[in-house]
Amino acid sequence: MCDKKHSALLTVIVPMVVAEIVRVYGLDENTATEQFYASRVYDELSDEGRKLWHYSPKVLFSMYDEEKRTGAITYPEEAF
């Protein structure tokens, strides 16, 4: 995937993950966005080579939630 397509995909996926963070954690959108951008899940999602873009926003939220609760990330399937 070229960088432009990956960036475009992130502009669709990230707001959906952030919306789930807002809903579950009761945060405002700005705080939820900042926390997601600071996460390891976002770091890996933004790295096109990691291929996390193929996961649904719900799966990415679950990964973020696990990271927040435990500090670890479990990948639903081997993507690398």
Amino acid, single-letter form, for residue 42: Y
Amino acid, single-letter form, for residue 54: H
Does residue 36 belong to any structural domain of this protein? yes
Domain that includes residue 12, residue range: 3-70
Does residue 49 belong to any structural domain of this protein? yes
Does residue 45 belong to any structural domain of this protein? yes
Does residue 24 belong to any structural domain of this protein? yes
Does residue 39 belong to any structural domain of this protein? yes
Does residue 53 belong to any structural domain of this protein? yes
Q: What is the pLDDT of residues 13-59, one digit of tens each?
A: 999 999 999 999 999 999 999 999 999 999 999 999 888 988 999 99
Q: Which of 21, 38, 40, 41 is nearest to 29 (CA)?
A: 21
Given its phi and psi angles, is residue 43 left (phi above 0), alpha (psi -120 to 50 degrees) or beta?
Answer: alpha
Amino acid, single-letter form, for residue 45: L
pTM of the model: 0.88
